[in-house]
Amino acid sequence: MPHTALVTPNARFTKAQRLLTPTAFKEVFDAPERKLHQSHLMAFVRTNTHGGARVGMAITKRKVPTAVMRNLIKRQIREQFRIKFFNLENKDIVFIIKKPLKGVNNKDLKNQINNILKKIEKK
């Protein structure tokens, strides 16, 4: 039997997929094309010219006081973005926290992130 390897797209989260500079964040915050809301999360979305989607996160200490929880939120956003990257258009996406996440479990957080990303996906 011949050995066949399944070819899957590279699903890494690279530096090119991140918003890195304050200028890049400012462009998205100043003139978003869309604002997508969930109960605890909000995403600002703007078209970019970089040939792929990019994501940024503004998770403030005021809304999420513990570093452990802030890092968990960032990991969840990065992971869901990484999985859905190939279905996204050339958009810059910035996630923010609308209100404290007390009582929100990982499953609910993941669902909120996925709901936002589904709205952004290519039609």
**From first to last of its 123 residues, what are the pLDDT tens digits of the chain?**
455 444 346 678 888 889 999 999 999 999 999 999 999 999 999 999 888 899 999 999 999 999 999 999 999 999 999 999 888 889 999 999 999 888 889 999 999 999 999 999 865
Name the one residue in this structure whose structure tokens are 């909000």: 42
Name the one residue in this structure whose structure tokens are 């609910």: 108
pLDDT score, position 103: 84
101: containing domain = 15-120
pLDDT score, position 38: 94
pLDDT score, position 117: 93
pLDDT score, position 2: 52
In a domain, 82, yes or no: yes
pLDDT score, position 69: 92
Enclosing H/E stretch for 23: helix 22-30
In a domain, 36, yes or no: yes
d(CA 35, CA 89): 16
d(CA 105, CA 108): 5
The domain tally of the chain equals 1
CATH number at residue 57: 3.30.230.10
In a domain, 1, yes or no: no
In a domain, 9, yes or no: no
